[in-house]
Amino acid sequence: MSDQHQRLASGCYGHDTVKTPNIDALARRAVRFTSAYCPSPVCVPSRGSLITGQYAHRHGAKILQDALPAGIPTIAHYFRERGYATGAIGKMHFVDESRKHGFDHRLNEASHRATLTAEERKQLHGDAGGIEGEGLDLPPRFFEDNWFADRAVEFLHAHKSKPFCLWASFVQPHTPFRPMKKYFDLYDPAKMKLPRRPADDLAGGFEGHLIRARERGWYQQTEPAARQSLAGYYGNVSQMDANVGRVYDALRELGLEKNTVVVYTSDHGEMAGAHRMWTKHNMFEESVGVPLLIAVPGGANGVRTQIVEQIDLFPTLATLCGLDAVKDIAGRDFAPLVRGQRYTPREFAYSEYWFCRNVFTKDDRYVGKPPLRMVRTDRWKLNHLSWSRSELFDVVNDPGEFHNRIDDTGLSGVVKELTALAGRQFIQ
């Protein structure tokens, strides 16, 4: 698992610039999903939902500052109770890291920091939200994801003869966009192709996105600066890809690919300059859509266009491993879809965003208000706000989501139907 990887920023998803040879290699023997969505476009609630199979309003970790309650059953509890060794190595964003949530073997970002001296840690300075692209000429051991990959490989060697459930979770390509120099140098900032940047972008939708983009300086960012940021982001993606490859190669060298289900995904996407924005905290496709690859030993491969949600991974993995069904969760088992069997897909994807303190607007004006709720069907996307201007996009005819149709009286029935669906999901 990576952090903040835009779905389309991989070779296997058709990108013509980003270099992701290892993810692409996995994709060749996996089922690749083109319509997978995260349950919330921000780290903490998304990760909590992935391991519990529940939406954020149900498990309680709704914003970045919320710790996932210790008593909620997780995928780690489920597999551990059935005799699996459980490991979580890397960034989990549990907030309260004293809680392991069923993972017996736990290494986090603090575990890596302890390997560096105070002086060495200063060399990695950088705003966690910084988008200035730069290559760092530092030894590999300074980068936490490199260390996490080493530890994940060690876990595989130590548990090669027993059932295991390993969550290897990398920090990149999350900001800051400061990869190792050799990965940054793969991309010439002057040659980066920027997404469409209309002068009136965001003007027709929820005002909070425009306020946030301006406050952070993204809206005013020059094209050369945006290209520099994009090169840094792509460098982060390529460094992350290299570490995915190290773990996957170790699994194959040990012969474990013959009886191991392998999943690659990310907790949410990255705007990467689209709509003059960076990071996430919104329901645009770049932010709420995620890459998802699932490789099953001797199983099917190819592309699946059906809508799936990340909360569905928990029950799906249980079935793919031949275990009993997971009960009392919102997630839906899509193992038949992975296997190429008959499957009735979801009619829509649902996601919710609770406004986080300190990171959305400077004055926290929206904190505490009801969440932004997305319902995304094959054609329509409603981003519903009960207290402000909602958004309706025709994602078939307007895939870039530039034209808000919420005021189109001819679509009032669509808005009413999708609003009802959002309400229904919110009580699950």
Backbone angles phi, psi at 42, to 5 degrees: -160, 150
Contact between 238 and 200 under an 8 Å Cβ cutoff? The reply is no
Average pLDDT on 66-94 reads: 96
Confidence of residue 128 (pLDDT cuts 50, 70, 90): confident
185 domain-assigned:
yes
Query: What is the distance between the alpha carbons of residues 425 and 49, in angstroms, rounded to a whole number?
Result: 14
52 domain-assigned:
yes
**What own/partner pairs with CB < 8 Å and gap ≥ 24 does 112-121 have?**
112/144, 112/147, 112/148, 113/144, 115/141, 115/147, 116/141, 116/142
336 domain-assigned:
yes
267 domain-assigned:
yes
Token duo for residue 64: 């970045």
pLDDT tens-digit readout, 91-116: 988 888 888 999 999 999 999 999 99
Neighbours of 12 (CB within 10 A): 19
140 domain-assigned:
yes
pLDDT tens-digit readout, 227-271: 999 999 999 999 999 999 999 999 999 999 999 999 999 999 999
Domain range for 179: 11-346
Backbone angles phi, psi at 37, to 5 degrees: -130, 145
Contact between 281 and 183 under an 8 Å Cβ cutoff? The reply is no
Question: Strands, E, within 192-301: which ranges?
Answer: 262-265, 289-295
293 domain-assigned:
yes
Confidence of residue 428 (pLDDT cuts 50, 70, 90): low
Neighbours of 390 (CB within 10 A): 20
Token duo for residue 424: 């229904």
pLDDT at position 300 is 85
pLDDT at position 126 is 67
Confidence of residue 310 (pLDDT cuts 50, 70, 90): very high
CATH number of the structural domain spanning residue 320: 3.40.720.10
145 domain-assigned:
yes
pLDDT at position 97 is 85
245 domain-assigned:
yes
pLDDT at position 318 is 98
pLDDT tens-digit readout, 362-417: 999 999 999 999 999 999 999 999 999 999 999 999 999 999 999 999 999 999 99
Number of domains in the chain: 1
pLDDT at position 377 is 98
